[in-house]
Structure 1
Amino acid sequence: MRFERISMMYNSGRRIFENFSLELKAGRITCIMGASGTGKTTLLRLVAGLEQPIVGRIDRNESERIGMVFQEPRLLPHKTALENVLWTTELIATADTTRDAQSMLEEAGLGDALHFYPGQLSGGMRQRVALVRAFAFRPTLLLMDEPFQSLDAAARRSMHDLLLNLWRRDRPTVLLATHDCEEATTLGSRIVLLAGTPARIEFELETVDSACGPKYAASELVQLKQHIDGQTVRHKEETIR
């Protein structure tokens, strides 16, 4: 899919994007980074069709099956973990749907919690259910808005492993918004760093997929960190002013 010279502004009148273009490669995980307010979430909403650009166009396959994972798990409280996963598949249910959902939840380490309700699960367990639910929908395009930011470092690394394992089943196109540099370099075969108002692509890294996940040269990681650190300094200076 492609963003072609889009322009967009907040209700306050601040312009988020102006003549902004970006192309997502099918079957790859693209990580969008940038300071808060840069437009990462807005970009996801544009892809999902929840927002429309003022100018420009977004080219995507109309038959695209779009899944979303949010910052909060957003599980249905009256349904069990298994029922929450099956809920997304009801319109395409087959004889193997339940078995497949159970298998995915077991892969996520939730084999003993299939019939637990969200209120009986920890925050990390709820986010695992949400991730499994998104992949059980068999999306061709998966949008993820900083879904692991509330987890501790160990839980995030575990979620990264789970995401990659689930992704390798069908290899959907993934657009993941994140603040976490380690997360981006672990998951993304492409990293796009946004900066400025309106937002522009300040820095970009891309690598080929490998069996163990994307790999970047040490010099590339240093460059990425320098750009992120520079954004942090500029943000502090603007806040002081």
Structure 2
Amino acid sequence: MFADFTGIDLTNVDLTDAELHDADFTGTQLKYADLTNADLTSTTFTDANLKGITFTDADLRHADLAYARLASALMMNADLSGADLRHAYLYGALLTNSDLSNANLTNSDLTGAQLQFSDLSDADFGYASLKRANLTNSNLTNSNLEYATLSQTKLSDADLTNANFGFNLLGQASFEHAIFQNADFTDTNLLHVDLTNVDLTNANIEGAIFAYCDWGT
């Protein structure tokens, strides 16, 4: 159902279980709104203020969230597959067990975000900030992390098969027990990184620098 909410102030509104696919929330104020279990497929939230919003269990497939402000958003179990999150501000957002497969997160800010047990396969994190983010047990198969900021990022037990880390600086990140089958670390600097029980046999480490890393030995 198409609905036009552009530029409207909907702070604290309760839209639980709402059918709002293809709706337009461009520039809308939705701070602390509750859209739990809402149908928001292909909905537009470009440049919207979504601080503290609740998207738990929401269907956001192919939604446009480019430049949206999502600080401290609650997005557990949300389906964001194929969503556009370019330049989105997701500082401290809670995305545990969410589906972000094929999502575009280039230049997004995920500092301190919680992404444990999430599906991040084929997602594009190019130039994104994942500083202090927690991606433990997440699926990052075929993901792109070129030029992303991964300082103090937690990636323990993550599946990084075919992931691209090229031209990165990984400082104090944790990859304990992570899977690196065919991962690409071309010209990547790994400084004080936890690589306990990690097998890089089939990874591309051409030009990579490993300094003061913990191999668990």
Output the TM-score relative to the length of structure 1.
0.26
- Structure with the largest fraction of helix: 1
Output the TM-score relative to the length of structure 2.
0.28
